[in-house]
């Protein structure tokens, strides 16, 4: 609901949230991050001291064991980070038996960008937080990849040595897999999935927050691992390479635990959400395929991730504690590492793909305007891939020296898994066939995904065949295959998903042209980079080696050059995201005309997604079926229930006169608009004999500001006895709520006459109340959404200029700064100077006063210097959008002003554009 | 996850599957136990691979003193204590179902005492065993498996202590509305069941 207006007497009771009391946490961003900082440091110090003390107590020698200390510092500072973020606060109170509020929603929802940078339990915010984290680490890991390509651009050593090169590609792979691909899907599904099934949030919102806050420590540990070195085992961390590693390996092993726990918590959360929180009518065969995909993936995570966690613990214990899991000399078994590792890590491939399949199913169906072909087949094949995925792990180990009898069965199961994957591909092709294909950005990525993923999938069938695998093992063929699957597969689906849901997440549309450039640059760059690697591998270039035979030189240089295209594409992607968030045009509810439930609510969705429990009445992909519906979204009871669609916006009357352009009122309206789907009518009661034109002018100003930020605003001036007039307006305009803006008690005539309470009684509509100080009400509008016009009047201000300014504002709303350059003669403290200055001040004062009374937002300034000095200073300090020169001025002067006025348009007040 | 159980959404679940009507905390814990089983499974995989690769068990290496047999009897008694603690917890929940809140608190306290006893006896066993995790693969898998289980017992004890806190200080949990308590108790039963399996595999076979 989050509609608490500062100083409001009665909180506005929207239906949004279904009666949850919502009191936002008001601690500042600084408070949280300072807390995180000291908590991390304290954790690190504890990690430093603990092994020392324990070794001292148990009289171990030596007292310092570097790697044990590194592991403890990483573990405890990571936990400190999470604790500092506030994830545990509620639980600690609960655990200690203190009173807790089970309906505590104080961390739910976002009102400003700041709320995205601190603890939040709203699944929509958490989804965005996930994406923020993964975009950061996408840049990190992408930079590492470019460093790898720089090293490989030519034979011999370019920028690093063998050890450094090993660290680079290890860090690239580990961060891409653990911090980008896996959590990206968790983030996208976090945003979309609860809305898709008609739930208000995830089942365990606090666990959800914990999951995302565990990611940054994991990522920074791995990043530190790259910087500190001693991590050259590859992301698979095979022993004995990993047991011979150093600090970097230790940090990876602890970081992987954080990432692993994060995924397990999210997976449990998804499963419980999907099982228990589906809206009425959402049977399993009506679930969107993304929901199917995430249910399946979550099961994979729950049963697979513990294996990689354990494998990393075992490696770490072998290295820093002297155990013998993988030590032949004392009965350990090296191969057992690979078995345990791949038992997770092969299913992990599907963890990174299946949610992507879900996204593609949504996108392909929506942009082909056709029901998905073979809904049940795709759903079952998802489950089949997951089940089979647990039976193929040893195909990574054909040449490892494992039991030879395992080879053929693993080869067979691996080839078998191509069948359900093929079912999906043909399902999508069937959907496209004779569809009405719309090549919007998400669809481009989906089609790009299909073409590249088929290449990656087929080369996967190749390498499943035992003799082929033995031939291409540890060559660039494998590098090409993994990138066709992870980049051309997973990453493309992530981009498809980001573009698909970005309008819903931000409430704003992205730049389509930039998005298409991003796609084509990446698509061409991707294929130019990775396609030649197949050939390199087949002719024998080994992977994971920094130097190579000169005969591979040309192709490698080409690959390194081509990879830069992807960098450019990614930069465009981030520019686009930034512009969308900052200044994208307001997105409609359903820009892609999708059928699933997230498209049936506003963009961005209301605080608790649905104002009333929705009813699912049909399948999610019934495109082209006349009258078919997926779900009915209801309006809350307060507005009389009934169905809710985009055009229904309950009306909120904003009662304000002089204060209608003041910041507190505008902010209150913006916040209401952000949290719900309302329209607003600015109602100003005019007193008898008051200048109605001035009031209307002020209303237009406010309207223009609010419309810039996407609100739907109308205006109305009422006359006569205020209570009766407002009550009549409330009836005429079907007011849902009334928002009053008055001065404080004692200053306000309206309050003195008890207007607010009388209106409440007369209308019977919920009334809330913003109070402002006199200063706030009088302050001229200083809003970036309104264009800023500077009027310079070198020859003083007369009534003609005043009228011209008013006409300018009537033509298009703007805020005005009126400057009179007095050009006082030297000395500036002399009598003549004082007189000139005083005259100018009086003139400006009178003009400003008169224009304010006519409803303009204007302030005045007097400048000692000349016209040009004033223009220069204004351009520097205020950066106006427009400079108008009033009075007599020569062409040369105008040119000079134009020169110093930066980007502002310069013209004379009475016309004459330049 | 237990803590969010009360915030479960008020969606009309009439006519939905039994799974959908489960308490979210209990369902979440059941799924999480699936994860826990896989953690133990990974260690057991290492154990069985190691065991399959040596001619005798415990293994013999030149220059390494042979291992003394594990204290089967004492650990057997300890096993009985842990199993008994599962029954005291079950009894406590049964008392709650009968409306006897003090019975629940007594059951929880009894369970906590038995669980702590198990942990103390286990630590005492570690002290007197005469070999360390660094002593060949046998020491490694023995300590890591029993240590992992010990950690789970500790976590389980904490969970039950928290539940006791809630029951005593905030007078929480009613029959049919005790999601966190039920989640904690199935965790405790899981820890017991794992121990029975572990005792049979590591000590007896």
Give the chain A residue whose CA is nearest to the CA of B30.
Answer: A268
Best CA proximity match to A441, nearest among A451, A429, A449, A433: A449
Report pLDDT for A206: 92
For A758-881, list the strands marked E by DSSP. 766-772, 788-792, 815-821, 858-863
Handedness of CA B148, B150, B152, B154 (dihedral sign): negative
Report pLDDT for A690: 78
d(CA A603, CA A831): 63
Share of chain B above pLDDT 90, in %: 56
d(CA A280, CA A613): 8
Report pLDDT for A488: 93
d(CA A340, CA A338): 6
Q: Which residues of A touch B194 (CB under 8 A)?
A: none
Give the chain A residue whose CA is nearest to the CA of B63.
Answer: A330
Contact B133/A310, CB-based, under 8 Å? no
What is the pLDDT of chain B when averaged over all its residues? 86
Residue B6's pLDDT band (boundaries 50, 70, 90)? very low
**ipTM over the 0.85 cut-off:** yes
pLDDT tens-digit map of A107-137: 888 888 888 999 999 999 999 999 999 999 9
User: What is the mean pLDDT of the segment spanning A529-558?
Assistant: 94
Residue A3's pLDDT band (boundaries 50, 70, 90)? very low
d(CA A342, CA A346): 5
Contact B32/A95, CB-based, under 8 Å? no
A608 touches chain B (CB under 8 A): no
User: What is the mean pLDDT of the segment spanning B106-129?
Assistant: 94
Report pLDDT for A748: 82
d(CA B78, CA B118): 6
Q: Which residues of A touch B38 (CB under 8 A)?
A: 302-307
Write the DSSP symbol of residue A542. B
Both tokens of A373, joined, read 């072909």
A371 touches chain B (CB under 8 A): no
10 Å CB burial of residue A709 (0-12, 13-18, 19+) is middle
d(CA B126, CA B119): 11
d(CA A120, nearest CA chain B) in Å: 15
pLDDT tens-digit map of B180-192: 899 999 999 999 9
Share of chain A above pLDDT 90, in %: 49
Best CA proximity match to A267, nearest among A334, A344, A332: A344
Structure-model confidence comparison of residues A1 and A166, the more confident one: A166
Q: Which residues of A touch B63 (CB under 8 A)?
A: none
The partner residue sitting opposite A339, judged by closest CB among B11, B12, B45, is B45
Contact A331/B19, CB-based, under 8 Å? no
**In chain B, how long is the greatest CA-to-CA distance?**
69
- Count of C-beta atoms within a 10 Å radius of residue A448: 21
User: What is the mean pLDDT of the segment spanning A766-781?
Assistant: 81
Q: Kindly report the backbone phi and psi dihedral angles of residue B5, in degrees, each rounded to the nearest multiple of 5, phi listed first.
A: -60, -35
d(CA B44, nearest CA chain A) in Å: 11
Report pLDDT for A23: 61
Contact A204/B28, CB-based, under 8 Å? yes
Q: Which residues of A touch B36 (CB under 8 A)?
A: 306
State yes or no: pLDDT of A6 exceeds 90: no
Q: What is the count of residue pairs from A and B with beta carbons less than 8 Å apart?
A: 169
Report pLDDT for A18: 39
Best CA proximity match to A885, nearest among A857, A863, A912: A912
10 Å CB burial of residue A863 (0-12, 13-18, 19+) is buried
User: What is the mean pLDDT of the segment spanning A603-630?
Assistant: 88
A403 touches chain B (CB under 8 A): no
Virtual torsion, Cα B174, B180, B184, B190, nearest 10 deg: 100
According to DSSP H, which parts of A326-475 are helical?
Answer: 334-351, 354-368, 375-389, 407-416, 418-432, 441-464, 466-472
User: What is the mean pLDDT of the segment spanning A36-57?
Assistant: 93
State yes or no: pLDDT of A778 exceeds 90: no
A321 touches chain B (CB under 8 A): yes
Best CA proximity match to A542, nearest among A606, A479, A596: A479
State yes or no: pLDDT of A547 exceeds 60: yes
Residue A662 · residue A822 · CB < 8 Å: no
10 Å CB burial of residue A891 (0-12, 13-18, 19+) is exposed
Structure-model confidence comparison of residues B108 and A804, the more confident one: B108
Both tokens of B141, joined, read 């898998």
Give the chain A residue whose CA is nearest to the CA of B62.
Answer: A330
d(CA A581, CA A631): 29
Q: Kindly report the backbone phi and psi dihedral angles of residue A473, in degrees, each rounded to the nearest multiple of 5, phi listed first.
A: -55, 135
Q: Which residues of B touch A317 (CB under 8 A)?
A: 133, 140, 144
Contact B31/A309, CB-based, under 8 Å? no
State yes or no: pLDDT of A696 exceeds 90: no
Q: Residues of B numbered 85-124 whose beta carbons fall under 8 angstroms of chain A's beta carbons: which are they?
A: none
Contact A276/B8, CB-based, under 8 Å? yes
Q: Which residues of A touch B56 (CB under 8 A)?
A: none
d(CA B11, CA A277): 7
pLDDT tens-digit map of B76-88: 999 999 999 999 9
Residue A858 · residue A815 · CB < 8 Å: yes
Contact A324/B28, CB-based, under 8 Å? no
pLDDT tens-digit map of A654-669: 998 888 888 888 888 8
d(CA B20, CA B18): 5
Contact B9/A333, CB-based, under 8 Å? no
B134 touches chain A (CB under 8 A): yes
Token pair 């104002």 is found at A611
B65 touches chain A (CB under 8 A): no
State yes or no: pLDDT of A9 exceeds 70: no
Best CA proximity match to A259, nearest among A188, A181, A159, A162: A181
Contact B137/A331, CB-based, under 8 Å? yes
The CA-CA-CA angle for residues A123, A128, A134, to 5°, reads 125
- Count of C-beta atoms within a 10 Å radius of residue A632: 19
Q: Kindly report the backbone phi and psi dihedral angles of residue A743, in degrees, each rounded to the nearest multiple of 5, phi listed first.
A: -70, 170
Structure-model confidence comparison of residues A775 and A457, the more confident one: A457
pLDDT tens-digit map of A329-338: 888 888 889 9
Report pLDDT for A639: 66
> Strand, coil or helix: what is A712?
strand
The partner residue sitting opposite A306, judged by closest CB among B31, B42, B141, is B42
Report pLDDT for B5: 40
Parallel, antiparallel or unpaired: strands A815-821 and A788-792: parallel
10 Å CB burial of residue B106 (0-12, 13-18, 19+) is middle
Crossing angle between the packed helical segments A182-196 and A334-351, to the nearest 10 degrees: 40
Give the chain B residue whose CA is nearest to the CA of A305.
Answer: B35
Q: What is the DSSP string of A45-66?
A: HHHHHHHHHHHHHTT-SSS--H
Residue B97 · residue B175 · CB < 8 Å: yes
d(CA B29, nearest CA chain A) in Å: 8
A88 touches chain B (CB under 8 A): no
According to DSSP H, which parts of chain B are helical?
Answer: 18-21, 24-53, 72-97, 101-129, 136-169, 179-198
Best CA proximity match to A320, nearest among A59, A67, A76: A67
Report pLDDT for B78: 94
B56 touches chain A (CB under 8 A): no
Q: Which residues of B touch A205 (CB under 8 A)?
A: 4, 7
Q: Which of A453-457, A869-873, B13-17 has the highest mean pLDDT?
A: A453-457
State yes or no: pLDDT of A234 exceeds 50: yes
* Weakest-pLDDT range from A256-265, A803-812, B14-23: B14-23
d(CA B203, CA A513): 68
Q: What are the angstrom distances between the C-alpha of A648 and each of A403, A615, A639, A765?
A: 67, 18, 11, 18
Contact B31/A271, CB-based, under 8 Å? yes
Q: Which residues of A touch B61 (CB under 8 A)?
A: 329-331
Parallel, antiparallel or unpaired: strands A679-686 and A615-616: unpaired
State yes or no: pLDDT of A478 exceeds 80: yes
User: What is the mean pLDDT of the segment spanning A602-622?
Assistant: 89
What is the pLDDT of chain A when averaged over all its residues? 88
Q: What are the angstrom distances between the C-alpha of A682 and each of A6, A679, A731?
A: 19, 10, 15
A307 touches chain B (CB under 8 A): yes
pLDDT tens-digit map of A290-328: 999 999 999 999 999 999 999 999 999 999 888 989 888
Write the DSSP symbol of residue A328. G
pLDDT tens-digit map of B131-155: 888 888 888 999 999 999 999 999 9
For A578-646, list the strands marked E by DSSP. 615-616, 631-632
Contact B38/A272, CB-based, under 8 Å? no
Residue A470 · residue A531 · CB < 8 Å: no
The partner residue sitting opposite A200, judged by closest CB among B9, B31, B168, is B9
């Amino acid at each position: 609901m989050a509609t608490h207006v500062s100083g409001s007497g009665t909180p506005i009771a929207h239906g949004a949230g279904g009666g949850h009391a919502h009191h936002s946490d008001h601690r500042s961003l600084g408070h949280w991050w300072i807390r995180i900082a000291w908590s991390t440091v304290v954790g690190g110090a504890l990690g430093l001291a603990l092994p020392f003390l324990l070794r001292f107590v148990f009289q171990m020698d030596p007292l310092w064991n570097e790697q044990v200390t590194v592991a403890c510092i990483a573990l405890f500072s990571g936990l400190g980070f999470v604790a500092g973020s506030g994830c545990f606060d509620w639980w600690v109170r609960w655990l200690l038996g203190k009173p807790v509020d089970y309906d505590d929603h104080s961390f739910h929802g976002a009102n400003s960008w700041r709320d995205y940078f601190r603890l939040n339990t709203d699944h929509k915010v958490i989804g965005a937080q996930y994406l923020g984290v993964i975009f950061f680490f996408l840049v990190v890991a992408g930079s590492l990849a470019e460093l790898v390509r720089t090293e490989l651009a030519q034979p011999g050593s370019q920028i690093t040595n063998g050890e450094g090169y090993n660290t680079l590609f290890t860090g690239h792979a580990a961060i891409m897999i653990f911090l980008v691909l896996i959590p990206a899907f968790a983030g996208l599904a976090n945003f979309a999935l609860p809305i898709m099934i008609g739930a208000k949030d995830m089942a365990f919102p606090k666990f959800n927050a914990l999951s995302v806050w565990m990611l940054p420590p994991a990522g920074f540990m791995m990043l530190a691992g790259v910087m500190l070195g001693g991590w050259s085992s590859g992301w698979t961390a095979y022993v004995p390479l990993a047991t011979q590693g150093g600090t970097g390996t230790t940090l990876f092993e602890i970081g992987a635990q954080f990432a692993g726990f994060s995924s397990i918590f999210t997976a449990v959360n998804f499963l419980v959400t999907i099982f228990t929180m589906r809206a009425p009518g959402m049977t399993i065969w009506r679930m969107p395929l993304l929901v199917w995909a995430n249910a399946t993936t979550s099961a994979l995570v729950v049963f697979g991730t513990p294996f990689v966690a354990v494998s990393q613990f075992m490696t770490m214990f072998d290295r820093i504690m002297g155990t013998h899991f993988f030590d032949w000399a004392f009965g350990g078994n090296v191969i057992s590492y690979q078995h345990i590792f791949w038992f997770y890590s092969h299913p992990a491939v599907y963890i990174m793909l299946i949610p992507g399949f879900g996204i593609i199913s949504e996108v392909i169906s929506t942009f082909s305007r056709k029901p998905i072909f073979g809904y049940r087949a795709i759903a079952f094949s998802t489950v089949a891939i997951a089940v089979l995925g647990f039976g193929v792990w040893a195909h990574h180990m054909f040449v490892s020296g494992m039991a030879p009898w395992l080879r053929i069965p693993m080869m067979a199961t691996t080839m078998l898994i191509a069948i359900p994957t093929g079912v999906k591909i043909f399902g999508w092709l069937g959907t496209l066939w004779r569809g009405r294909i719309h090549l919007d950005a998400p669809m481009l990525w989906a089609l790009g995904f299909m073409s590249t993923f088929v290449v990656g999938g087929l080369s996967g069938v190749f390498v499943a065949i035992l003799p082929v695998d033995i031939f291409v093992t540890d060559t660039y063929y494998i590098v090409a295959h993994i990138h066709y699957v992870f980049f051309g597969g997973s990453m493309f689906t992530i981009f498809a998903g980001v573009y698909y849901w970005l309008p819903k997440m931000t409430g704003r549309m992205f730049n389509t042209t930039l998005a298409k450039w991003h796609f084509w640059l990446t698509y061409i760059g991707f294929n130019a980079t990775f396609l030649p690697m197949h050939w390199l591998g087949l002719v024998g270039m080994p992977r994971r080696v920094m130097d190579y035979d000169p005969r591979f030189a040309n192709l490698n240089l080409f690959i390194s050059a081509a990879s830069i295209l992807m960098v450019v594409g990614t930069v465009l992607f981030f520019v686009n995201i930034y512009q969308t968030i900052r200044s994208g045009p307001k997105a409609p509810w359903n820009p892609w005309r999708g059928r699933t439930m997230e498209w049936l609510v506003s963009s961005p969705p209301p605080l608790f997604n649905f104002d009333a429990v929705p009813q699912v009445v049909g399948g999610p992909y019934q495109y082209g079926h006349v009258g078919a519906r997926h779900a009915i979204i209801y309006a809350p009871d307060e507005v009389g229930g009934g169905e809710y669609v985009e055009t229904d916006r309950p009306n909120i009357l904003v009662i304000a006169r002089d204060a209608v352009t003041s910041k507190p009122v505008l902010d209150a309206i913006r916040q209401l608009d952000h949290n719900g789907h309302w329209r607003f009518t600015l109602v100003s009661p005019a007193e008898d004999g008051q200048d109605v034109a001035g009031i209307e002018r002020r209303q237009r100003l406010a309207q223009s500001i609010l419309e810039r930020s996407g609100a739907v605003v109308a205006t109305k001036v009422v006359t006569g006895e205020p209570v009766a007039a407002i009550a009549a307006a409330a009836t005429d305009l079907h007011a849902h709520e009334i928002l009053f803006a008055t001065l404080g008690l004692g200053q306000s005539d309206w309050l003195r006459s008890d207007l607010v309470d009388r209106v409440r009684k007369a209308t019977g509509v919920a009334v809330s109340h913003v109070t402002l100080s006199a200063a706030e009400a009088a302050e001229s509008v200083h809003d970036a959404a309104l264009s800023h016009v500077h009027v310079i009047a070198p020859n003083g201000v007369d009534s003609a200029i005043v009228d011209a300014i008013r006409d300018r504002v009537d033509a298009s709303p703007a805020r005005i700064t009126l400057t009179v350059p007095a050009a006082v003669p030297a000395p500036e403290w002399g009598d003549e100077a004082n007189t000139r200055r005083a005259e100018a001040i009086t003139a400006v004062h009178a003009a400003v006063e008169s224009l304010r009374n006519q409803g303009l937002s204007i302030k005045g300034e007097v400048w000692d210097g000349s016209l040009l000095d004033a223009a220069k200073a204004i351009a520097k300090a205020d950066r106006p959008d427009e400079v108008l020169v009033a009075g007599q001025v020569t062409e040369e002067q105008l040119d000079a002003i134009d020169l110093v006025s930066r980007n502002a348009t310069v013209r004379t007040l009475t016309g004459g554009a330049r | 996850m237990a803590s969010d159980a009360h915030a479960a959404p008020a969606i009309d679940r009439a006519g939905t599957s039994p799974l959908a009507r489960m308490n979210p905390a209990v369902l979440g814990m059941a799924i999480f136990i699936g994860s826990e089983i896989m953690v133990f499974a990974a260690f057991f995989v290492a154990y069985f691979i190691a065991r399959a690769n040596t001619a005798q068990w415990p293994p013999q290496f030149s220059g390494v003193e042979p291992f003394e047999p594990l204290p089967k009897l004492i650990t057997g008694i300890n096993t009985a204590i842990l199993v008994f603690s599962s029954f005291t917890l079950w009894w406590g929940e049964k008392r709650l179902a009968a409306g006897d809140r003090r019975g629940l608190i007594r059951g929880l306290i009894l369970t906590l005492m038995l669980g702590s006893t198990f942990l103390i006896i286990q630590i005492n066993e570690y002290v007197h065993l005469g070999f360390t995790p660094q002593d060949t693969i046998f020491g490694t898998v023995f300590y890591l498996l029993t240590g992992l289980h010990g950690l789970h017992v500790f976590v389980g004890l904490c969970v039950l202590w928290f539940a006791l806190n809630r029951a005593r200080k905030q007078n929480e949990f009613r029959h049919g509305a005790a999601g966190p308590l039920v989640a904690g108790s199935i965790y405790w039963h899981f820890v017991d069941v794992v121990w029975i399996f572990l005792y049979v595999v590591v000590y007896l076979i």
